[in-house]
Chain A
């Protein structure tokens, strides 16, 4: 496994500005059951948890970390029918694994995955016995614009863009897509938790769990034709992606219904929530409908009228891709 050589201490990590909260005791954990979980397509029915709490907002523009952690816990427990958050996380990851947190930073400070959410997830992962965590996206500069601090080296929690590790030399191909996958995904991480943002996309309709994996390839600029269909589904169907991404937690603390993927504050609204699912297709379908509903509320045209309906979602569910389901009858939507 390739790893940058230096090892920052926990202290240095904290010094770099990424707060991890109170001391985390190492917990003795047994083997998790992550490997035993069926894939979304096999499961037959996909659960999407929508967890919301307006109290997550603290004074000013920040978030209350304790409330946010509790929201995350409730969402995970509801997703996996567990009594404790630790039980749920043990169904996602196993001790000893290197876990990647794929954030989405394109929108910069305004509408990227919130570091506060990443902090809460990191804390729970450590409690679940994960000692190596990698926060990653396209480029270091993207991460920095979204308030993440780069920590390229060492064990513990690292944070860097694809420009640090580079890309594989061999193409991955599926359907119309042919791309080089980033080595962070293929060589560093054993498992990935996908952390997209609930937002509009001016070409592809929405950019949620499926499209966020454009951040794992070298040529996303080639795949926005035809509103991203079938490219978004094709890219997600690359074997290392579909095998390694275990869970999707969509950051809807703030959401954007128009003008994306760039940050457009006039079209943001405080959704105050998270969307959690193991099925990226189901999550995208639910997230898409949330954004459509908001657009209708404010009198905006639907994506269909604008010819940017995210048809790649149904493509991802088709017999060729089998990445999940977008059939409302097979989506169990749980609101907490």
Chain B
């Protein structure tokens, strides 16, 4: 569902938080506001008082090349960047032959979300996640719902300085057991994710990542070592779609999912079903078979409803029948946890025991009506339900 509650993290004092959280528009989204709302257009010229240097760090994953060029080694794109130029993501810049991230601690939005909104359905149900993002993304999906932060350069959107210790302290202050890196693409602010996750871990706060999974193996392994769960937006099960709609590639994303799985980090997969573009039966079946054969039947797979946005406003929302067809195909292939997302109230939002078929996590929208698990097992038949439940 479109997230209209994104806001800027400017201050984290309790007064501001309470003032903001009292705004009526937020209740509908189950989120809580941090800082003042964005009343002014996002692309108004930003205030000139920001000190950019506080956001800039040398990038961790790159190579230096002759003639002051750099090659980014963060994502499979491997941008070769001239001096004073930026990579595809728009948030990494070559300055005199040294590559920099421009978005460390440069938070453009932060608020408190139910973990179900990410969505994670097998990870601490009912928990709230301190959720944040910086500008930038390393793909350019035509259906991006947050393009106004993901497809812009850092200087084009207002941001606040939020170093990792401030994030972990804020999460604790607002009783969030989890920090979620989400909304845009955490891969492009990886250095910041790693530092926040380390700070959070030291403070007893877990970290989860919501990503498109377009990342190289080395940085991904470092990420897996620091975070507790990763949700991958698998945009389609075809290279054609990745090329034409995502501006990326499928193969590296599948490899990333395997890396996450092998690392033992909890993983869920979301597939946004876009009418006419990635909604074929063969694609659903191919995806389900790949998940079962490579990851096993217990990895949750969410088929989510598309709403017209950004460059795909010409398409209608996904018919619910299409989502149900996708679920039926994946169920038939033997996957145990197939969900339908962005359709509040649909029965397939809940978790059912694959053995006794009884409801073990009862969800409506982002609300948990009941959890019928005991030590990670079905309360009714004792079948183990995989996940991170506490």
**Residues of A participating in the B interface, judged by any CB pair closer than 8 Å:** 106, 108, 139, 163-169, 171, 173, 178, 180, 202, 218-219, 221-222, 224-225, 259-262, 264
In the complex the two chains form, what is the Cα distance from A262 to B81 in whole Å? 10
Contact B151 A222 (CB under 8 A): yes
Query: Are the C-beta atoms of A202 and B80 separated by less than 8 Å?
Result: yes
Docked-complex contact A221 and B43, CB < 8 angstroms: no
> Which residues on the B side are within 8 Å of A202 (C-beta)?
80, 82
Q: A165-B45, A166-B43 are in contact. Are A221 and B86 (CB under 8 A)?
A: yes
- Binary contact track B264-289/A, C-beta < 8 Å → 1, others 0: 00000000000000000000000000
The answer to whether A221 touches B84 (Cβ under 8 A) is: no
Contact indicator A221/B153 (Cβ below 8 Å): yes
Q: Which residues of B contact A166 (CB under 8 A)?
A: 41, 43-46, 156
A259 to B65, CA, bound (A): 13
B140 touching A164, Cβ below 8 Å: no
* Closest CB in chain B relative to A206 CB, distance in Å: 14
* Min CB gap B76→A, angstroms: 13
- B83: interface (CB < 8 Å): yes
B85 touches A163 (CB 8 A): no
* Complex interface: stretch among B87-95, B118-126, B171-179: B87-95
Q: Is the interface of A mostly helix, strand, loop or mixed?
A: loop
The reply to whether B88 and A262 form a contact with Cβ atoms under 8 Å apart is no
What separation, in Å, do the CA atoms of A260 and B140 have in the docked complex?
Answer: 25
Minimum CB–CB distance from A199 to chain B (whole Å) comes to 12
Bound CA span A257–B381, Å: 73
| Chain B nearest Cβ from A279, distance in angstroms | 28
A165 to B46, CA, bound (A): 9
Residue of B nearest to A259 (CB): B67
Residue ranges of B at the interface with A (Cβ–Cβ < 8 Å): 41-46, 67-68, 80, 82-90, 140, 142, 151-153, 155-156, 247, 310-311
User: Cα distance A180–B156 when bound, in Å?
Assistant: 11
Query: CA A8 – CA B121 in complex, angstroms?
Result: 60
| B41 engages A169 (CB within 8 Å) | yes
Residues of B close to A218: CB separation below 8 A: 43, 152-153, 156
Please name all residues of chain A whose beta carbon is closer than 8 Å to the beta carbon of B88 when the two chains form the complex: 221-222, 224-225
Q: How far is the CB of A161 from chain B (nearest CB, A)?
A: 10
Give Cα A218 to B155, complex, Å: 10
CB neighbours of B80 from chain A (8 A): 202
**Residue of B41, B43, B86, B88 most packed against chain A (CB within 10 A):** B43
Contact A168 B84 (CB under 8 A): no
* B45 partner, pick from A163, A221, A225, A261, beta carbons under 8 A: A163
- Report how far A202 CA is from B84 CA in the complex, Å: 13
Instruction: State A91–B311 Cα separation when bound (angstroms).
Output: 38
- For the complex with contacts A166-B156, A218-B152, A262-B67, 15 further pairs of A-B residues with Cβ separation under 8 Å are A163-B155, A165-B45, A166-B44, A167-B43, A173-B311, A202-B82, A219-B90, A219-B152, A219-B153, A221-B86, A261-B82, A262-B82, A262-B83, A262-B84, A262-B85
B261 nearest CB across to chain A (Å): 30
Q: In the complex, are the beta carbons of A108 and B84 less than 8 A apart? A: yes
B4, chain A: closest CB distance, angstroms: 15
Q: List 8 A-B contacts (CB under 8 A).
A: A169-B41, A178-B311, A180-B43, A202-B80, A218-B152, A218-B153, A219-B151, A222-B90
Q: How far is the CB of B284 from chain A (nearest CB, A)?
A: 27
Q: In the complex, what residue of chain B is closest to A142 when comparing beta carbons?
A: B84
**Alpha-carbon gap, A225 to B84, bound state (A):** 18
* Contact yes or no, A167 B90, CB < 8 A: no
A184 to B88, CA, bound (A): 24
Which B-chain residue is minimally distant from A106 (CB atoms)?
B84
Docked CA distance A261–B84 (Å) = 9
- By the criterion CB–CB under 8 Å, are A262 and B68 in contact? yes
A221-B87 CB under 8 A given contacts A163-B155, A178-B310? yes
Q: How far, in Å, is A179 (CB) from chain B's closest CB? A: 9
Please give the distance in Å from B149's CB to the nearest CB on chain A.
12
**Which residues on A sit within 8 Å (CB–CB) of B247?**
222, 225
B310: nearest residue on chain A (CB-CB)?
Answer: A178
Known: A202-B80, A259-B67, A261-B82. Contact between A169 and B43, CB under 8 A?
yes
In the complex, A106 Cα to B83 Cα: how many Å? 9
User: What are the 8 A-B residue pairs with the smallest beta carbon separation, nearest first?
Assistant: A166-B45, A262-B82, A221-B90, A167-B43, A262-B83, A178-B311, A169-B41, A222-B140
CA distance A311 to B86 in the complex (A): 22
CB distance from B162 to the nearest CB of A (A): 22
Please give the distance in Å from A159's CB to the nearest CB on chain B. 16
A180: chain B residues within 8 A (beta carbon): 43
Contacts of B82 in A (CB 8 A): 202, 260-262
Instruction: Write the chain B residue with the least CB distance to A201.
Output: B82
| Chain A residues with CB under 8 A of B84 | 106, 108, 262
User: Which chain B residues lie closer than 8 Å to A260 at the CB level?
Assistant: 82
Which of A163, A164, A165 has most B Cβ within 10 Å?
A163
Q: In whole angstroms, what is the CA distance A219 to B87 when docked?
A: 11
CA–CA, A261 and B45, complex, Å: 27
Give the chain B neighbours of A264 by CB distance below 8 A.
67
Q: Is the CB of B43 within 8 A of A164?
A: no
Closest chain A residue to B41 by CB distance? A169
The answer to whether A168 and B43 touch across the interface, beta carbons within 8 angstroms, is: yes
A221 to B136 CA separation, bound complex (whole angstroms): 11
Measured between beta carbons, the chain A residues less than 8 angstroms from B86 are 221
A221 x B41 contact (CB < 8 A): no
For B83, list chain A residues within 8 Å (CB): 262
A166 CA to B44 CA, complexed, in Å? 5
**Contacting residues, chain A, for B67 (C-beta < 8 A):** 259, 262, 264
Q: A165's closest neighbor in chain B, by CB? A: B45
A273 to B67, CA, bound (A): 27
Task: Write out the residue numbers on chain A whose beta carbons fall within 8 Å of the beta carbon of B89.
Answer: 221
Residues of B within 8 A of A219 (CB): 90, 151-153
Q: Which residues of the other chain, B, contact A225 by a CB distance below 8 angstroms? A: 88, 247
Min distance, Cβ A331 to any Cβ of chain B, angstroms: 30
